[in-house]
Structure 1
Amino acid sequence: MDILELVQANILTPVVLFFLFGIVAARIKSDLKIPDAISEFLPIYLLAAIGLHGGLEMRKTGFESMLVPLVVAVGLSILMTLYHYQILRRLGKFNLFDSYALASTYGAVGAVTFSVG
């Protein structure tokens, strides 16, 4: 699969199409209103689409070849969480609860980023 086929295959996924649609709507200053029922369902749909696409790609790759990157991604996300906690607690002067909450959010985002990478 060459790079052009890879780009075409990824651009036509629902997640990317929704983001492109949002960019176009914002650029033309559309007053697009999404009904409340759809806006509640949309994040669930997008998460399911991302998970399904990722699961299918993992199935092609095989679990054995994903084990080391998976362990590294989880380890790095834990290190990021602990590192961010220390920064927030000492330099940001946040309280204990806020430091952990914010650091774990960044750790979760980091885990997803590392896993996708």
Structure 2
Amino acid sequence: MQTRESDSEEFVSEPITPSPGTADATAMGRGEPGLPARFTWREREYVITAVLKAWKTSSPEGGTGRLYLRRHWYTVQTDVGPQMTLYCERQTRNRRQPKARWWVYSMQKSVQ
């Protein structure tokens, strides 16, 4: 099992499906992606109850030397327990699935 920064976090890297009509309109008004209040992942619906952390990552744009904002990241608490790290890609990587912009990057493992 792969882990990220700590043994309590499990790497996932799978797309999620935001529930229609739940995007954060205030964030969209600022030009940021609208974090969905609800989403489906692995055929289960999750409700975001709290945003614990938010940040952005950038990388150089094709030899121009300018930085391009690539991803918006969020660590969230869900209604069913696990904290998840989600991200939104500003530009999708997969042309066959242009709407696959939201992803679960990792989730907190349950403590036994």
* Larger gyration radius, structure 1 or structure 2: 1
Q: Which has the higher contact order (CA 8 A, sep 6+)?
A: 2
**Superposition TM-score, scaled by structure 2 size:** 0.21
TM-score by length of 1: 0.21
The structure where helix makes up a greater share of residues is 1
